[in-house]
C-alpha cells in the first residue's frame, strides 16, 4: 500500500522582485484558469484529461507547458462540478498552482543557510529572447518535513497564497507500507460528547465538547476564536495519538459524510446546539485516524452508520427506545451498556474481513456493571 504525505513551507526569504513575479503569476494564472473553465463550459474546447498546447488558445499566459497545466486544472474543476451535479458554471476564487517536474528544479545544499533551492521557470519570456524568466526560491526545512527525509519525493510541487499575501510551497512524498496480516479488529465511534469510544472500551476526548462550546461563544472570525480553532486541531491530534493500536490490523469507523447536513434537517434541535455542533469537526478526526492507520499498516474501513446506536450488541434487537442518553438498555433482552461503547461494538461487527488478512479476531463485548 502506498501512502502519501505533504510538507508545506513558507516562502519569505526571496527578494522583492521575486515576490512581484509571484504576484503576477497568481494573478495571471487565476484569470487564465477562469478563461479555460469558460471555454470548456461553453464547449469551445473539448473536455479531456490532456490536450495539446497547439489546440489551446493564448490569453495572459502563452507558454505551452503552462497552458497544459492550466487546461488540466480547468478540466479537473469541471469534472468535480459534474460529479457534484452542479448546474452553474464554476467561478474561480482561491487557487493553488500545481507545477510538474518540467518547470522546476530542486537543489539541496545542507552547508548553506537554506536547505533547498527551488528554481521555477515562469510563463514569461525575457525581452527579445525565447528564454523564459526563472526565479530561485530559498526554502528551509522544518520539524514536520524532516519526517519524510527517507520517503520518495514526487515530481510535483504546489504554490499557494494566503489572503494576507503570504506565499507557500508544498512538496509531496510517498512511501510503500505493508498491511499487517495478523491482528484484531477495532470499532471506533466518533462522537460529540466523547470524541472517541472504541469497542474495547477506550474512551478519549471527554472534554472536547467544552472546547467546542467555547469556540461557539466567540465572535465569528475573531483572533480568540482562531486561536481556539488551532487548539481544537491540536487536541484532535493529541487525542487520536492516544488510541491504543497495539495488536490491531483492522479499524472500522462510520462513514459520517453529510452528517451535519442531515442534522440541519432535524428541526427539533436548537439553534445554539447547531452552532456548537459546527465546530465538532469529524472530518479531521477521520483524516487523523486514516493517517495513523496507514503509517502503521492497519486496514481502515468505513461503514454505514445507520442504526449503530439503536442495535443491541448482545442480542441484535433494534429499537430507538433502547437508548436513553449515555445509557443503552435493550428493551428486548435487558442488556445494559454505555451507549457509545454499544455503538462502537456494532460498528466493529459491521466491518468486513480485511481482504489482506487470513483471519480477524473479534473483541468480546464489554458489559458495564
User: Does 248 map to a domain?
Assistant: yes
Please give the pLDDT value at position 355: 38
User: Does 115 map to a domain?
Assistant: no
User: Does 88 map to a domain?
Assistant: yes
Structurally, the chain folds into a number of domains equal to: 2
Q: What is the pLDDT along the chain (369 residues), one digit of tens a residue?
A: 889 999 999 999 999 999 999 999 999 999 999 999 999 999 999 999 889 989 999 999 999 999 999 999 999 999 999 998 888 999 999 899 999 999 999 998 766 788 999 999 999 998 877 789 999 999 999 999 999 989 999 999 999 999 889 999 999 999 999 999 999 999 999 988 899 999 999 999 999 888 888 888 888 889 998 899 899 999 999 999 999 999 999 999 998 776 555 554 455 555 655 555 666 678 889 999 999 999 999 999 999 888 899 999 999 999 999 999 899 999 999 999 999 999 999 999 987 643 333 333 333 333 332
286 and 341: one domain?
yes
Helix (H) or strand (E) run with residue 341 in it: helix 339-350
Handedness of CA 151, 255, 251, 243 (dihedral sign): positive
- Check: CB of residue 135 under 8 Å from CB of residue 169: no
User: Does 160 map to a domain?
Assistant: yes
Please give the pLDDT value at position 367: 33
Distance of CA 147 to the CA centre of its chain: 19
CA distances from 220 to 224, 230, 236, 279 (A): 9, 14, 21, 12
User: Does 330 map to a domain?
Assistant: yes
Distance of CA 191 to the CA centre of its chain: 19
Radius of gyration of the chain (CA): 25
158 and 253: one domain?
no
94 and 200: one domain?
no
State the residue range of the domain holding 308: 184-350
User: Does 156 map to a domain?
Assistant: yes
CA distance 287 to 33: 29
198 and 227: one domain?
yes
User: Does 274 map to a domain?
Assistant: yes
274 and 172: one domain?
no
DSSP 200: T
156 and 233: one domain?
no
Cell numbers for 115: 536547505
Residues in the chain: 369
Please give the pLDDT value at position 74: 96
User: Does 128 map to a domain?
Assistant: no
234 and 171: one domain?
no
Amino acid at each position: 500500500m502506498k501512502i502519501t504525505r505533504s510538507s508545506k513551507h513558507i516562502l519569505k526569504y526571496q527578494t522583492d522582485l521575486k515576490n512581484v513575479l509571484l504576484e503576477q503569476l497568481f494573478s495571471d494564472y487565476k484569470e487564465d484558469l477562469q478563461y479555460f473553465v469558460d471555454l470548456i463550459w461553453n464547449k469551445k474546447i473539448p473536455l479531456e484529461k490532456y490536450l495539446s498546447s497547439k489546440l489551446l488558445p493564448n490569453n495572459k499566459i502563452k507558454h505551452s507547458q503552462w497552458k497544459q497545466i492550466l487546461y488540466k486544472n480547468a478540466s479537473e474543476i469541471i469534472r468535480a462540478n459534474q460529479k457534484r451535479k452542479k448546474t452553474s458554471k464554476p467561478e474561480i476564487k482561491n487557487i493553488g498552482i500545481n507545477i510538474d517536474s518540467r518547470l522546476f528544479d530542486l537543489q539541496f545544499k545542507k552547508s548553506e543557510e537554506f536547505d533547498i533551492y527551488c528554481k521555477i521557470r515562469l510563463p514569461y519570456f525575457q525581452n527579445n529572447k525565447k528564454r523564459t524568466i526563472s526565479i530561485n526560491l530559498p526554502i528551509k526545512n522544518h520539524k514536520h518535513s524532516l519526517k519524510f527525509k527517507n520517503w520518495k519525493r514526487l515530481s510535483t510541487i504546489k504554490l499557494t497564497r494566503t489572503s494576507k499575501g503570504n506565499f507557500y510551497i508544498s512538496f509531496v512524498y510517498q512511501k510503500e507500507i505493508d498491511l499487517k496480516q495478523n491482528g484484531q479488529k477495532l470499532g471506533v465511534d466518533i462522537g460529540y460528547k466523547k470524541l472517541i469510544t472504541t469497542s474495547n472500551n477506550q474512551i478519549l476526548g471527554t472534554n472536547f465538547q467544552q472546547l467546542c462550546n467555547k469556540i461557539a461563544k466567540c465572535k465569528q472570525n475573531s483572533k480568540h476564536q482562531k486561536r481556539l480553532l488551532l487548539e481544537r486541531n491540536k487536541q484532535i491530534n493529541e487525542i487520536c495519538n492516544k488510541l491504543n493500536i497495539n495488536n490491531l490490523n483492522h479499524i472500522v469507523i462510520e462513514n459520517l459524510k453529510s452528517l451535519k447536513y442531515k442534522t440541519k434537517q432535524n428541526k427539533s434541535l436548537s439553534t445554539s446546539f447547531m452552532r456548537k455542533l459546527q465546530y465538532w469537526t469529524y472530518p479531521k478526526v477521520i483524516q487523523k485516524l486514516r493517517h495513523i492507520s496507514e503509517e502503521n499498516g492497519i486496514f481502515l474501513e468505513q461503514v454505514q452508520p445507520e442504526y449503530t446506536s439503536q442495535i443491541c450488541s448482545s442480542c441484535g434487537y433494534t429499537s430507538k427506545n433502547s437508548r436513553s442518553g449515555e445509557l443503552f438498555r435493550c428493551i428486548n433482552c435487558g442488556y445494559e451498556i454505555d451507549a457509545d461503547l454499544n455503538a462502537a461494538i456494532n460498528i466493529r461487527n459491521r466491518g468486513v474481513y480485511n481482504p489482506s488478512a487470513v483471519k480477524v479476531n473479534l473483541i468480546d463485548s464489554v458489559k458495564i456493571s
